[in-house]
Amino acid sequence: MGYYDTLGAEAAKMLEYVETGTTDSAESTMEVPASAYTDTGYFDREMETIFLKLPLLAALSAEIPRPGDFKAMDLMGKPILVTRKSDGGVAAMMNVCAHRGMILQPEGHGNKKRFSCPYHAWTYANDGKLIGVADPGKFGPICKEERGLTTLPCVEAAGIVWVCLTPGAQINIEKHLGGMMEDLAAHNLEKWHFCGSRRIYGPNWKIAYDGYLEGYHFAAAHPETIHPRSFSNIMHFTAFGPHMRVGYPQVAIKEKLTASPRDSWGQIENTGYDFVRTIFPNVSIFFAPEITQVAQLIPGPTPHQNTTNLLFIRRDPPRDEADAAAIEGMMDWLRDVVDKEDYGVGLQVQKGLASGAIKSVIFGRNERGNQFFHKYVNHLVSGETGSEPPVL
């Protein structure tokens, strides 16, 4: 079965759920200790076994499309610098001068062939090599080859620049993404236009991630934004390793799908149904007709917090000033929905769990994606040698 045939089958399944009043379901309910969202020791193990080992989204290809483009950012408390080299390839390194540890480049985007430290003016090429020491005669002998920026494993695939925060580690992005690679590659994200970003602050990263994995909350939490478009509590789940494609049928799914030939259903995403793609451990992607939102959840610095960067792209750059203004308005609207509705709820959940009022949270049979996500987190954190990862 081809890619679009598979999407069409998932759309058909969503239509069946709507017509029968059912949803994709797990075999039983599942409890997760409340401490999984609050305990510092558990949080530290998550950082060590998941976030410092797995490939993480550092940038969209569309953020650094030209040779010399760069993005400086904080990722998991580590200052990193991602660059587009002169040969078109990408590089990632710690954004820290090898002389005295000064942060080399302030957070943001730009285009530079070289980076000069604002403290003592040591200069680096955009691949991290040290190319100049200020006043070398007075400084003394130094081996430039040994004093470049600390490089990080980095690979570009499916329109995304992936980085591992452990120097010297190996990235097998094809193995990591599995079938999700085909899904992302089908969109040719590397050809899209980067519109901008927004930043919001929320609760524990898993509370935030939980919200992307179910539509059970649509009616109560999004009565005027999402629920008028999409059914509440009807979902379809497809897993690719730890990653998921979560389907949400629109209230007009029957009308929209029956108006199109059955063999075209997989090619009309956003017409009758939508998907949210989650890339484990901390990315959610929603392809909307107007603009695409990529949410990057960055845990910490404590178990009770996360910083979320909302990155926005679309297929074409703004047509004119009015179109550019409309894009800005859409980014603000999407930010406000996530911030005020999802994270507004999430912060209250965090407060409730921290109170000690309940010992565990319970996920229903309808919250199948959440169950799978928490099983995968626990599988990685437990580190049991030889154990098989969970399956959906």
Give tens-digit pLDDT for 38-55. 999 999 999 999 999 999
- Please write the tens of the pLDDT for every residue from 233-272: 999 999 999 999 999 999 999 999 999 999 999 999 999 9
Strand-pair partners of 279: 283
The pLDDT value recorded for residue 384 is 78
Least confident range of 3-17, 190-204, 378-392 = 378-392
**Residue 171 · residue 151 · CB < 8 Å:** no
Q: For residue 27, is it within any domain? A: yes
**Residue 277 · residue 180 · CB < 8 Å:** yes
212 and 289 share one domain: yes
The pLDDT value recorded for residue 383 is 83
Computed over every residue of the chain, the mean pLDDT equals 96
- Please write the tens of the pLDDT for every residue from 120-140: 999 999 999 999 999 999 999
The pLDDT value recorded for residue 143 is 85
264 and 164 share one domain: no
Q: Is the pLDDT of residue 92 over 90?
A: yes
The pLDDT value recorded for residue 176 is 97
C-alpha to C-alpha distance for 68 and 88, rounded to whole angstroms: 9
Q: Residue 220: what are its φ and ψ, rounded to 5°?
A: -80, -40
Q: For residue 374, is it within any domain? A: yes
11 and 68 share one domain: no
Mean pLDDT, to the nearest integer, of 92-106?
Answer: 97
Encoded amino acid at 286, one letter: F
150 and 89 share one domain: yes
Q: For residue 187, is it within any domain? A: no
217 and 325 share one domain: yes
Banded pLDDT at 1 (limits 50, 70, 90): confident
Q: Is the pLDDT of residue 161 over 90?
A: yes
**Residue 23 · residue 17 · CB < 8 Å:** yes
Question: Domain span at residue 119?
Answer: 56-170
Q: Mind giving me the DSSP string for 139-178?
A: H----GGGSS--B--EEEETTEEEE-SSTT----HHHHHT
Strands 108-111 and 114-116: unpaired
- Please write the tens of the pLDDT for every residue from 358-386: 999 999 999 999 999 999 999 999 987 77
Q: For residue 389, is it within any domain? A: no
Whether cis (ω within 30° of 0) applies to the bond prior to 281 is: yes
C-alpha to C-alpha distance for 55 and 68, rounded to whole angstroms: 23
Encoded amino acid at 165, one letter: L
C-alpha to C-alpha distance for 142 and 150, rounded to whole angstroms: 17
Encoded amino acid at 2, one letter: G
Encoded amino acid at 210, one letter: D
The pLDDT value recorded for residue 335 is 97
Pick the last residue of a domain from 170, 205, 227. Answer: 170
CA angle 290-335-305, nearest 5°? 140
C-alpha to C-alpha distance for 313 and 69, rounded to whole angstroms: 17
Q: Please write down the long-range contacts of 99-108, taking CB distance under 8 Å and 24 or more positions apart.
A: 99/133, 99/147, 103/79, 104/72, 104/149, 105/70, 105/72, 105/81, 106/72, 107/72, 107/73, 107/74, 108/71, 108/72
The pLDDT value recorded for residue 385 is 74
**166: Cα separation from own chain's centroid:** 19
Banded pLDDT at 152 (limits 50, 70, 90): very high
CA Rg value for the chain: 22
Pick the last residue of a domain from 105, 137, 170. Answer: 170
Banded pLDDT at 308 (limits 50, 70, 90): very high
321 and 199 share one domain: yes
Q: For residue 333, is it within any domain? A: yes
Alpha helix segments (H runs only) across 213-280? 218-221, 253-258
The pLDDT value recorded for residue 305 is 97
The pLDDT value recorded for residue 386 is 75
229 and 83 share one domain: no
User: Coil, strand, or helix at residue 171?
Assistant: coil
* Number of domains forming the structure of the chain: 2
- Please write the tens of the pLDDT for every residue from 272-299: 999 999 999 999 999 998 899 999 999 9
First to last CA, the chain: 20
For tokens 């797995």, what's the residue? 54
Structure token pair of residue 235: 């979902």
29 and 99 share one domain: no
The pLDDT value recorded for residue 387 is 82
Pick the last residue of a domain from 170, 203, 229. Answer: 170
Q: Is the pLDDT of residue 95 over 90?
A: yes
Mean pLDDT, to the nearest integer, of 73-91?
Answer: 97
147 and 213 share one domain: no
Q: How do the residues of the chain divide into helix, strand and coil, expressed in percent and rounded to 5?
A: 35, 30, 40
